[in-house]
């Protein structure tokens, strides 16, 4: 049975629906991420799952038990759902240990102390229990917030942009650490973020959101390699869309060649299409007759990200090992793995 079932929910404020017919399910132990631009409704969905927003339609069930419907709302404190907020919401007048102990008042003192220490050890703050929150760095405060939320063993943990106050380097690392801790404790969780690197680092499954809907639900790998539409293709990863045309039932032609599919493409011959070209779809090969001009380059250590110009004026991005060190203005040979390219109907 699913741990969480969100079925066709709509949530609105006054005349406006900000979440419209959204559905997804989570299996026990799974980590999902809602990924989308600011204002698309991510926090509203989390608040509804936690029990702080009512539904206009649809339903939410935890372990098969309905907790939200238009005429029903089980109170937040009875749901067993934990939450970690963007600003951590830690108590400044309590020590680190006091913060973590906050949701454990039902335990005997000795048990509570053991559990607090376990939680602090798990997040790597075993020595800092007696400090106050203002004596910690941002990354350490985030870990306290996670320890506090995990201490009562919630059946579902919701994390709302938990790393957005941290610098970019720390975000990805902490994301991986949080993932390891959630997996270690078998916690089912939903992370909300607008940052795809963070989503990739943490999630088993990602729901890409736009305007209160989920455009695609899938693994990070599938979203990158098989985006369902142009919106997801543009939102996830880098890449450009080049104009193309279906010239035979299975063949698409574009500026850089022909893509032939094994099955007919769902489009009439002659119809306009677009080919998605990711930076990793292009190889540099001096022997290739396909030429592009280096317009710009960014050194990334192991790789260069090149901006390449085509004769038509279209540009491409290409990420290649940095021993391919070309000068700006140079014409270079490129190759594409045609089989991997993704094509959309325009």
Name the site residues for ligand ADP (rule: CB under 6 A).
Answer: 13, 18, 36, 38-44
Inter-residue contact 190 to 15 (CB < 8 Å): no
Whether the Cβ atoms of residue 212 and residue 55 lie closer than 8 Å to each other:
no
Query: 44 contacts which partner out of Mg ion, ligand ADP, none, CB within 5 to 8 A by kind?
Result: ligand ADP
Enumerate residues 6+ apart whose C-beta is below 8 A from 56.
10, 11, 12, 17, 70
Q: Which of 333, 284, 339, 292 is nearest to 316 (CA)?
A: 292
Give Cα 89 to chain centroid, integer Å: 23
Phi, psi (rounded to 5 degrees) for 229: -155, 180
* Residue listed under structure tokens 């901006």: 307
From the list Mg ion, ligand ADP, none, partner contacted by residue 18 (C-beta under 5 to 8 A by kind): ligand ADP
The distance of closest approach from Cβ of residue 49 to Mg ion in the complex, given in angstroms and rounded to an integer, is: 13
| Interacting partner of 221 out of ligand ADP, Mg ion, none (Cβ under 5 to 8 A depending on kind) | none
At residue 27, what are phi and psi to the nearest 5 degrees? -90, 155
Q: Please list the residues that pair with 132 across neighbouring strands.
A: 95
Residue 39 vs 264, nearer CB to Mg ion: 39
Quick one: what does residue 40 bind among Mg ion, ligand ADP, none, with the CB cut-off 5 to 8 Å set by partner type?
A: ligand ADP
Q: Which two tokens stand for residue 222?
A: 């599938």
Minimum CB–partner distance for residue 39 and ligand ADP (Å): 4
CB of 220 to ligand ADP, least distance (A): 19
CB of 128 to ligand ADP, least distance (A): 31
Q: Which does 305 bind (CB under 5 to 8 A by kind): Mg ion, ligand ADP, none?
A: none
**From the list Mg ion, ligand ADP, none, partner contacted by residue 41 (C-beta under 5 to 8 A by kind):** ligand ADP
Question: Is the separation of the CB atoms in 79 and 50 below 8 Å?
Answer: yes
Pick between residue 56 and residue 340 the one whose CB is nearest to ligand ADP.
56
- Closest contact distance (angstroms) between CB of 27 and ligand ADP is 24
Map the footprint of Mg ion across residues 14-53, applying CB under 5 A: 43
Residue 43 or 307: which CB sits closer to Mg ion? 43
Nearest-10 Cα torsion for 67, 73, 76, 78: -60
User: Which residues form the interface with Mg ion (CB under 5 A)?
Assistant: 43
């Amino acid at each position: 049975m699913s741990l969480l079932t969100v079925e066709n929910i709509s949530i609105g404020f006054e005349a406006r629906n900000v979440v419209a017919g959204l559905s997804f399910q989570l299996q026990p132990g799974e980590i999902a991420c809602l990924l989308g631009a600011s204002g698309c409704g991510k926090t509203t969905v989390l608040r509804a799952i936690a029990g702080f927003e009512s539904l206009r339609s649809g339903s939410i069930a935890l372990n098969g038990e309905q907790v939200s419907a238009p005429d029903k709302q089980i109170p937040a404190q009875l749901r067993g759902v934990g939450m970690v907020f963007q600003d951590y919401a830690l108590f400044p007048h309590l020590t680190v240990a006091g913060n973590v102990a906050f949701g454990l008042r039902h335990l005997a003192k000795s048990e509570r102390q053991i559990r607090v220490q376990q939680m602090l050890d798990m997040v790597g703050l075993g020595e800092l229990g007696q400090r106050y929150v203002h004596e910690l760095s941002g990354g350490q405060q985030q870990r306290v917030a996670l320890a506090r939320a995990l201490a009562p063993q919630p059946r579902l943990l919701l994390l709302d942009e938990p790393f957005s106050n941290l610098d970019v380097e720390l975000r990805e690392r902490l994301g991986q650490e949080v993932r390891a801790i959630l997996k270690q404790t078998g916690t089912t969780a939903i992370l909300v973020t607008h940052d795809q690197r963070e989503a990739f680092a943490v999630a088993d499954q990602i729901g890409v959101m736009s305007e209160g809907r989920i455009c695609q639900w899938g693994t990070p790998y599938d979203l990158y390699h098989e985006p369902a539409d142009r919106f997801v293709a543009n939102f996830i990863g880098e890449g450009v869309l080049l104009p193309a045309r279906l010239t035979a039932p299975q063949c698409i032609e574009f500026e850089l060649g022909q893509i032939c599919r094994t099955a007919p493409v769902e489009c009439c011959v002659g119809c306009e299409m677009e080919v998605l070209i990711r930076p990793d779809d292009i190889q540099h090969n001096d022997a290739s007759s396909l030429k592009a001009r280096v317009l710009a380059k960014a050194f990334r250590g192991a790789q260069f990200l090149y901006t390449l110009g085509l004769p038509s004026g279209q540009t491409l991005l290409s990420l290649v090992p940095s021993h391919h060190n070309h000068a700006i203005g140079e014409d270079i040979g490129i190759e594409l793995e045609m089989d991997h390219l993704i094509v959309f109907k325009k």
